[in-house]
Structure 1
Amino acid sequence: METAETQQISIGQIFGILRKHLGLILGSTLIITLVAGLMTFFVMTPKYAATSQILVNRKLSENMAGAQYQQNQADVQMISTYKDIITSPTVLRDVDNKMKGQPDYDSGIDNLKGSIAISSQQNSQVFSITAQSTNPNTAAKIANETATTFKQKVVKIMSVNNVSIVSKAAPSDTPVSPRTKLNIALGIIIGLLVGIGLAFLREFSDRTVTSEEFLTEELGLKGLGIISEINEADIHRKIEPRISRKKGTEDNELRMRRRV
């Protein structure tokens, strides 16, 4: 029972603090969300993506048709090796040389490697080369040049001819980053957390005595009295009638003296 009562009081105090500093929490949320929106729309540069798809498939002669399944599985296993070849300097160096001079292209093998992502589905003979750039046409050209160069290089490197391009990359005018909705949502969440943190920080750092219970229960002191705060208007409202009555009494005494 004691534990439940203590927990209920603690929860009540928490909600009381949040209610007390609601303006601070809302203000913090609004400011950080606004900053996130400004960063998303006016600071971050949009990036575009384009994807080229490659098929790994070695065709066998009719008299070896029974071994086609095993060959397909072998081709699937080779995709991991092909991914390493695509991101190797042997392929990227040629792609980088072909891409120099393209709009918004950052020259360099490291920059090129960072702009390329390779993905594949489990047990699929198709894998994708996705390139990103601040220019949609450049992104498509990177993906296509990478796929073409890889297809040419793998014949010499692996002595196989089982790679074909099944889908060329096409420019897309829809940016993949920044993600506007996600950034705004993160701004709201971070703003709320910061506001709540500031509310509790302000509450626990405030050493002002606001109630008699704090003195008697927390500090163990005895209350001798309470000094209430009164505004100036109340003071004038209470004092002026007394001054008027006192002045009237003095005037009456003065008149009586004159008569005597």
Structure 2
Amino acid sequence: MEQAINIEQIFGILRKHRRVITLSTVICTLLAIVLTFFVITPQYSASTELLVNRKQNTDANAQWNQVQTDVQMINTYKDLITKPIIMDTVESKINKENSKKLDNDEIASMISITNNQNSQVFSINAKADNAYTAADIANMTATTFQKKAPKIMSGTDNVSIISKAKPDLTPVSPRRKLNVLIGIVLGLLIGLAIAFIRELMDKTVKDESFLTEELGLTSLGVINNIAPKDLIKKAIMRTSTLSRRG
């Protein structure tokens, strides 16, 4: 038998289980705050930009072809930058200045390369748990690649650095306000789910109308629940009355 729940019943369920909902929200919010501010290590980002542009030919068609070639070469450069031939040099230079030793695989995982479509500019982005380390990795990678690219690409000298990375002391993650908001919403949803599950699992009869309207049974009367203290009180009063009569 399907049981419909109206708006009044929903608010009744929320009032009945308000403590569970509030407790769940508070717990999840506190967990989000603890994880965000005390457990998750902040990450900092820095980026440097490089331009791929060889000496232009005076012929217009040749210039167009050169530009398109440079744009296509960026895809090759993006794959090449995080390879050991570049990362080995970056690793040795970074570890000279950094007390925390990093291997080339770790450094490569910190680096991402981005570029806009049909643009001759691409960015080397580095993310680390220290703002200065992130800037050093980005700059060292760009400098190393600029020096090694002509040798690797058979004399093709068309890479220049147009902006260096600078330390940004504002962490890019975790996003504190967002994490706390997620904790509040998640806690509220969990509390609501618990409230409605407990209500649906509760098979006790709430009132007389359920028997008469939902089950179609005839009501023979209502037996009120009397608390033990009331029974004791009535027994004492009855004993007292009998004693006076006797």
Fold conserved between structures, TM > 0.5: yes
Uncovered stretches (5+) of structure 2, i.e. residues with no partner: none
Structure 2 residue aligned with 1:193, among 173, 185, 189?
Answer: 189
Report the alpha carbon displacement of residue 78 of structure 1 after superposing the two structures with TM.
1.8
Structure 2 residue aligned with 1:60, among 39, 56, 60?
Answer: 56
SS of equivalent residue, structure 2 residue 59 = helix
What does residue 22 of structure 2 align with? 26
Moved more, 172-181 or 213-222: 213-222
The code of the aligned residue for 2:205 comes to: V
**Cα deviation per residue 1:50-83 (whole Å; 9 max; x = unaligned)?**
111111111224x335532332232222211110
Is 1:128 aligned to residue 123 of structure 2? yes
**Structure with the higher helix share, 1 or 2:** 1
Uncovered stretches (5+) of structure 1, i.e. residues with no partner: 1-5, 251-260
Is 1:103 aligned to residue 98 of structure 2? yes
What does residue 115 of structure 1 align with? 110
* 1: CA distance, partners of 2:15 / 2:99: 51
**Cα deviation per residue 1:192-241 (whole Å; 9 max; x = unaligned)?**
11111111121122233322233344455443321212446766776777
* 2: CA distance, partners of 1:231 / 1:103: 73
Matches within 5 A, 1:218-237: 218-231=214-227
**Contact 1:104-1:138 at 8 Å conserved across structures:** no
Is 1:178 aligned to residue 155 of structure 2? no
Report the alpha carbon displacement of residue 49 of structure 1 after superposing the two structures with TM.
1.2
What does residue 41 of structure 1 align with? 37
The count of corresponding residues between Structure 1 and Structure 2 is 243
Report the alpha carbon displacement of residue 118 of structure 1 after superposing the two structures with TM.
1.0
The code of the aligned residue for 1:16 comes to: G
SS of equivalent residue, structure 2 residue 50 = strand
TM-score, structure 1 normalization: 0.81
Q: 1:104 to 1:12 in 2, by over 3 A?
A: farther
TM-score, structure 2 normalization: 0.85
* 2: CA distance, partners of 1:245 / 1:201: 50
Bigger radius of gyration: 1
